[in-house]
Amino acid sequence: MSTPNFSDLSLFPTFATCPEDPSAHPTKPYYLLGQIKDDMTITKPTLVLSDRESSPFALVFDGLDRDGLDFKRAGLKKGHTAVIPDGRQVPPKEEGKRGFVSVEGARAGEVKGIPGPLEKVLRVALELRVREGEEGRCDVCAAAAEDVKLKKCTGCKGASYCSKECQAAGWSKEGHKEACGIIRAIKEIWPKK
């Protein structure tokens, strides 16, 4: 099984439960997920995101100057989901203000983008995990591998189809077009060991 359990809140904490001291967190590494809302860079590369509870937070890349990170090249585009490993919560300096999440500039390359909104990423990841646990069925008509010859989607290798017709239906009607890129990104970030 390669896909981590996205329902595990110790592995995928919310902004509010991100620790101030990452080394004290029970799970290592852990990943904060956020849907990218805006680029708010003033002095350091800064994104505004929304976590799995739709709570907004800022992500600041420490130790980089304002041009130190090309968000688009890093796959961190508006509407996409950022995966932030070992994000450190910096509490607000004054009461009533919001804290933010900080990542060391040297680890900026470890922050990855998944091409899809967070809600969809969570759904696709859960489906992918379920599918990994059971033996091959067609994604569209559920024909079993023992009865038909299944072919894997060449894009993501995470979806299986019994025929060209089912593959075409999966791509358009069942939304695999978006899921395919999400699955590919998940497999790149968490490769099979």
Enumerate binding residues for Zn ion (CB under 5 A).
138, 140-141, 143, 153, 155-156, 159, 162, 166, 180
Shortest spacing between CB 34 and Zn ion, in angstroms: 24
Which of residues 76 and 159 has its CB atom nearest to Zn ion in the complex?
159
Helix, strand, or coil (residue 105) = helix
Which of residues 119 and 174 has its CB atom nearest to Zn ion in the complex?
174
Which of residues 101 and 179 has its CB atom nearest to Zn ion in the complex?
179
Shortest spacing between CB 74 and Zn ion, in angstroms: 23
Shortest spacing between CB 127 and Zn ion, in angstroms: 12
Shortest spacing between CB 186 and Zn ion, in angstroms: 11
Distance CA 61, CA 150 (A): 44
Distance CA 117, CA 137 (A): 27
Location of structure tokens 């590919």 = 184
Shortest spacing between CB 121 and Zn ion, in angstroms: 15
Q: Give the number of C-alpha atoms closer than 13 A to the C-alpha of residue 119, restricted to the C-beta side.
A: 2
Number of Cβ atoms within 10 Å of the Cβ of 134:
8
Which of residues 48 and 141 has its CB atom nearest to Zn ion in the complex?
141
Which of residues 118 and 166 has its CB atom nearest to Zn ion in the complex?
166
In angstroms and rounded to an integer, the radius of gyration of the C-alpha atoms of the chain is: 19
- For 32-91, what is the HEC assignment? EEEEEEEECCCCCCEEEEECCCCCEEEEEEECCCCCCCCCCCCCCCCCCEEEEECCEEEC
Q: How many helices (H) and strands (E) does the chain have?
A: 3, 9
Under DSSP, the state recorded for 89 is: E
Shortest spacing between CB 123 and Zn ion, in angstroms: 15
Which of residues 44 and 151 has its CB atom nearest to Zn ion in the complex?
151
